[in-house]
Amino acid sequence: MEYLVKSGSPEKQRVGCVVVGVFDRRKLTQQARALDFAADGLLSSILRRGDLDGKLGDTAVLHNVEELLCDRVLLVGCGKEREFNDRAYEKACAAAIKQLSALGGVDAAFYLTEQNVRGRDDFAWQVKSALLTVEENLYRFDTCRGQGFESPRQKLTRLVFQVPRRSDLRAAERGVNEGRATAAGLKRAKDLGNLPANICTPSYLADNAKELAGAHDKLKTSVLGEDEMAELGMGALLGVSRGSRQPARLIVMEYNGGAKKDKPIVLVGKGVTFDSGGISIKPSAAMDEMKYDMGGAASVFGAVEAAAEMNLPQNVVGVVPAVENLPDGDAYRPGDILTSMSGQTIEILNTDAEGRLALADALTYVERHYDPDAVIDMATLTGAALVALGSQAAALYGNNSPLRRALRDAGDTVGDRAWPMPVWDEYQEQLDSNFADMANVGGHLAGSVTAACFLNRFARKLRWAHLDIAGVAWKSGSEKGATGRPVGLLTQYLIDRTHDDA
Ligand code: BES
Ligand code: MN
Ligand code: ZN
């Protein structure tokens, strides 16, 4: 899709479709009023006949309105004007794009971006948010369909986001740039997530990182194999890998957009390409969804790509421990004691608590090889996070409150929310082991918290935050598919950080 920004009145647009909003009840927005005036009251009379009340998400299409230069007018219900907030705006935009892609035109002038959204005072936000909603609704994953499959052709290829004044164009342009970059990152994250585990293996992820680096001058990728990891003493990560014939990989992506001396933000993502549970094997219902257990890794790829696409003036490092968790004659077992790269020993009480093991060594690797400004890890870590927060918010942990605050704010801005959870010392006792420095599970209470507390033990020297994204990384049921979350949050965090420095 080609995205443009323009200012100008709706009645003068020579396009396939002009999209304007109508509030509940039958209240024309300023842009709809302009069309109504030019068309001698046609819009008002149509509303009076009852074709559209303005209920949020309802739409009506008018064809061949004589006095207008466009082929069609799409009226979009925006709900109550006083309640036009982030959510309402997104719903209106989603309704608009669904209709638009069902209509015939190749281009459209999109006026919902001119609407004031409660609490938002910057057209960059409206434009970016609309663009991301469009991309979200147009995304399809068809790479694994057979030969006979024909993907439906998207007729709409040009979307013009309208803003009221010429002086708003700069902000709108920024919204398009940030939106495009974020959308590219989200697409990569979704594609990687949706690929099945027989294709998306640790080596596949490593190749994908190399391909990504090939497309951006300021991006470099290096990959460690199992021998190199063994030399570094990564006994926890390699313990998980023993049951799989797919060799583990430690993928490191370095985006150097800042000065050499600038401390990097390091993003670490759990890259378990399939999680069967190992010897502590999972029940088979919905086990296919454990191909999404590399969602954290996918979001690191996406955020790094977005940073590179925006040419952000800062340094970002992505680190992905990529590994598969399967049962096998050579697999690690309950009772085994692993020595992590940090030197701390871990008694395995459940081989299904594998993500924290891979992440522990990745965090130690980061501590030894970088001097980060902050480290943020993302992981589909616990079913308990899903129980606690459902699929609305990621569980947010960390040992630094400004960092937690910044992540939460970034998530709020892009509607990719995270909610704070504790890593109090009191919880650490749940990880006590009779035989090693710690156990890898903390009992059935506060499962997401004790997993975070486990990671905390490997991040003591770091400004660190952890997002348990088990509830948000993918959708189940008839809409099964990767969401790409938290690429939006991470990208926004990096953008906000650039502005704060300036
Ligand atoms: N990848 C899973 C977490 C998960 C499960 C995410 C279901 C989304 C849906 C993780 O590796 C895991 O198996 N965690 C265990 C931990 C337990 C053994 C302490 C869990 O949540 O049950
Ligand atoms: Mn598991
Ligand atoms: Zn897992």
pLDDT, tens only, 275-314: 999 999 999 999 999 999 999 999 999 999 999 999 999 9
Q: For position 254, what pLDDT does the model report?
A: 99
349 lines ligand 1 (CB under 6 A): no
**Which atom of ligand 1 is closest in space to residue 350's alpha carbon?**
18
Give the residue-averaged pLDDT of 58-75. 97
Contacts of 41 (CB under 8 A, 6+ apart): none
| pLDDT tier at 153, thresholds 50, 70, 90 | confident
* Residue 38 to residues 12, 74, 78, 86, Cα–Cα distance (Å): 9, 16, 22, 30
Ligand 2 center from residue 276 Cα (angstroms): 7
Contact 355, 295 (CB under 8 A): no
Q: How many Cα atoms within 13 Å fall on the side-chain side of residue 468? A: 32
468 lines ligand 1 (CB under 6 A): no
**Hey, CA dihedral for 353, 354, 355, 356, is it positive or negative?**
positive
**Which atom of ligand 1 is closest in space to residue 444's alpha carbon?**
19
Distance CA 457, CA 115 (A): 48
Ligand 1 center from residue 91 Cα (angstroms): 32
Ligand located closest to 271 CA:
3
Distance, first Cα to last Cα, the chain: 32
pLDDT tens per residue, range 114-143: 999 999 999 999 999 999 999 999 999 999
Amino acid identity at 8: G
Give the residue-averaged pLDDT of 209-234. 98
Dihedral of the alpha carbons of 483, 485, 487, 489, in degrees to the nearest 10: 140
Q: Are strands 315-325 and 158-162 parallel, antiparallel or unpaired?
A: unpaired
At 372, list the tokens.
């980060």
Contact 480, 398 (CB under 8 A): no
Give the residue-averaged pLDDT of 9-30. 98
pLDDT tens per residue, range 380-401: 999 999 999 999 999 999 999 9
352 lines ligand 1 (CB under 6 A): yes
> Does position 156 have pLDDT exceeding 70, yes or no?
yes
> Does position 477 have pLDDT exceeding 60, yes or no?
yes
At 204, list the tokens.
């596949």
Give the residue-averaged pLDDT of 161-165. 98
Give the residue-averaged pLDDT of 407-426. 98
Average pLDDT, the chain: 98
350 lines ligand 1 (CB under 6 A): yes
**Hey, CA dihedral for 360, 366, 368, 369, is it positive or negative?**
positive
**Which atom of ligand 1 is closest in space to residue 440's alpha carbon?**
19
Judged by phi (left if over 0) then psi (alpha if -120 to 50, else beta), residue 415 lies in left
430 lines ligand 1 (CB under 6 A): no
- Three-class secondary structure of residue 50 per DSSP: coil
Atom 5 (ligand 1) nearest CA: 383
| pLDDT tier at 421, thresholds 50, 70, 90 | very high
| pLDDT tier at 355, thresholds 50, 70, 90 | very high
391 lines ligand 1 (CB under 6 A): no
Atom 14 (ligand 1) nearest CA: 382
Q: For position 298, what pLDDT does the model report?
A: 99
Amino acid identity at 108: A
Atom 17 (ligand 1) nearest CA: 353
* Residue 474 to residues 144, 190, 430, 453, 479, Cα–Cα distance (Å): 18, 9, 29, 24, 9
Give the residue-averaged pLDDT of 321-350. 99
Q: For position 240, what pLDDT does the model report?
A: 99
382 lines ligand 1 (CB under 6 A): yes
Q: For position 255, what pLDDT does the model report?
A: 99
Distance CA 153, CA 301 (A): 28
Ligand 1 center from residue 349 Cα (angstroms): 13
**Which atom of ligand 1 is closest in space to residue 380's alpha carbon?**
6
> Does position 502 have pLDDT exceeding 70, yes or no?
no
* Residue 404 to residues 69, 220, 399, 465, 489, Cα–Cα distance (Å): 50, 28, 8, 7, 12
> Which of 272, 284, 348, 352 maximizes ligand 1 atoms within 8 Å of its Cβ, making it the mutation to test the pocket?
352
Whole-number CA gyration radius for the chain = 25
| All structural domains of the chain | 2-143+153-166 (3.40.220.10), 182-501 (3.40.630.10)
Contact 184, 309 (CB under 8 A): yes
At 313, list the tokens.
């003036």
Contacts of 360 (CB under 8 A, 6+ apart): 236, 237, 340, 341, 342, 344, 346, 454, 455, 457, 458
**Which atom of ligand 1 is closest in space to residue 471's alpha carbon?**
8
355 lines ligand 1 (CB under 6 A): yes
Q: For position 27, what pLDDT does the model report?
A: 98
| pLDDT tier at 151, thresholds 50, 70, 90 | confident
pLDDT > 90 fraction of the chain, expressed in percent and rounded:
98
- Three-class secondary structure of residue 51 per DSSP: coil
Ligand 1 center from residue 303 Cα (angstroms): 24
324 lines ligand 1 (CB under 6 A): no
Distance CA 304, CA 309 (A): 9
462 lines ligand 1 (CB under 6 A): no
> Does position 461 have pLDDT exceeding 80, yes or no?
yes
| DSSP-assigned letters across all residues of 469-481 | -TTTSEE-GGG-E
Q: For position 501, what pLDDT does the model report?
A: 61
406 lines ligand 1 (CB under 6 A): no
Judged by phi (left if over 0) then psi (alpha if -120 to 50, else beta), residue 467 lies in beta
> Does position 65 have pLDDT exceeding 80, yes or no?
yes
Residue 76 pairs in a beta bridge with 21, 59
| pLDDT tier at 376, thresholds 50, 70, 90 | very high
**Which atom of ligand 1 is closest in space to residue 441's alpha carbon?**
19
Residues that place a CB less than 5 A from ion ligand 2: 275, 352, 354
Catalytic residues: 282, 356
Ligand 2 center from residue 356 Cα (angstroms): 9
Ligand 3 center from residue 235 Cα (angstroms): 17
Give the residue-averaged pLDDT of 341-368. 99
